[in-house]
Structure 1
Amino acid sequence: MNSVYDQLLVREHLSRATPSANLSELEETALREQVKQLLVDHNAVLIAHYYTSPVIQALAEETGGFIGDSLEMARFGARHPAQTLVVAGVRFMGETAKILSPEKRVLMPTLEATCSLDIGCDADEFSQFCDEHPEHTVVVYANTSAAVKARADWVVTSSIALQVVSSLHEQGKKILWAPDKHLGDYICRETGAEMLLWDGACIVHEEFKAKGILDLKKVHPTAAVLVHPESPASVVDVADVTGSTSQLLKAAGELPNDTLIVATDRGIFYKMQQENPNKIFLEAPTAGQGASCRSCAHCPWMGMNSLERMASSLKEGSDEIHIAPELIQNALIPLQKMLDFPKD
Structure 2
Amino acid sequence: MKNGARETLADVRIPLVKVPAHPVRLELPTQEKAALKERIKLLLNEQNAVLVAHYYTDGDLQDLAEETGGCVADSLEMARFGTEHPAQTLVVAGVRFMGETSKILNNEKRVLMPDLEATCSLDENCPIDLFADFCDRHPEHTVVVYANTSAEVKARSHWVVTSGIALPVIRHLAEKGEKILWGPDRHLGRYVQRLTGAEMLLWPGSCVVHEEFKADALRQLRALHPQAAVLVHPESPQDVVDQADVVGSTTALIQAVCTLPNKEFIVATDAGIFNKMRQLAPDKILLGAPTAGEGASCESCARCPWMEMNTLQKLAQTLETGAGEIHVAADLAARARVPIQRMLDFAKTLKK
TM-score after normalising by structure 1: 0.95
Task: List per-residue Cα deviations over 1:238-273 (Å, max 9, x = no partner).
Answer: 000000000111111111100000000011101111
1:88 maps onto 2:97 in alignment: no
The aligned residue for residue 321 of structure 1 is 326
One of 318, 342, 350 as aligned partner of 1:343: 350
Distance 2:232 2:23 in 1: 27
- Alpha-carbon contact 2:14-2:204 (below 8 Å) kept: no
Matched, 1:6 2:6: no
Q: Does 1:257 align with 2:262?
A: yes
C-alpha displacement at 1:292, in angstroms? 4.5
In structure 2, the partner of 1:53 is 58
Paired residue secondary structure (2:53): strand
Distance in 2 between residues matched to 1:144 and 1:204, nearest whole Å: 16
Match of 2:350, SS state, is coil
1:290-309 correspondence to structure 2 within 5 Å? 292-293=297-298, 296-309=301-314
* Aligned partner (choices 28, 35, 46) of residue 30 of structure 1: 35
Letter aligned with residue 94 of structure 1 = G
- Say if 2:202 is the partner of 1:197: yes
Task: Give the gaps of 5 or more residues in structure 1.
Answer: none
Q: Are the aligned partners of 1:136 and 1:174 in contact in 2 as well (CA < 8 Å)? A: yes
Unpaired stretches in structure 2, ≥5 consecutive residues: 1-9
The RMSD of aligned alpha carbons is 1.7
CA–CA distance in 2 between the matches of 1:331 and 1:101? Answer: 12
Query: 1:333 maps to what in 2?
Result: 338
Q: Partner letter of residue 14 of structure 1?
A: P
The whole-number CA distance in structure 2 between the counterparts of 1:288 and 1:203 is 16
- Once the two structures are TM-superposed, the CA of residue 288 in structure 1 deviates from its matched residue by 5.7
The alignment partner of 1:14 has SS state of coil
1:153-302 aligned at under 5 Å gives the runs: 153-287=158-292, 292-293=297-298, 296-302=301-307
Separation in 1, partners of 2:344, 2:299: 34
Mean alpha-carbon deviation: is it higher for 207-216 or for 260-269? 207-216
**Which whole-Å CA distance do the structure 1 matches of 2:125 and 2:340 have between them?**
21
CA distance in 2, matches of 1:172, 1:19: 50
Q: Which amino acid aligns with 2:61?
A: I
The one-letter code of the counterpart of 2:136 is D
Aligned to 1:67: 72
SS at match of 2:131: helix
- For these two proteins, the number of residue pairs brought into alignment is 339
CA offsets 1:96-130 (integer angstroms, 9 cap, x no match):
00000000000000100000000110011100000
TM-score by length of 2: 0.93
Contact 2:54-2:93 within 8 A present in 1 as well = yes
Task: Note if contact 1:203-1:294 (Cα within 8 Å) is conserved in structure 2.
Answer: no
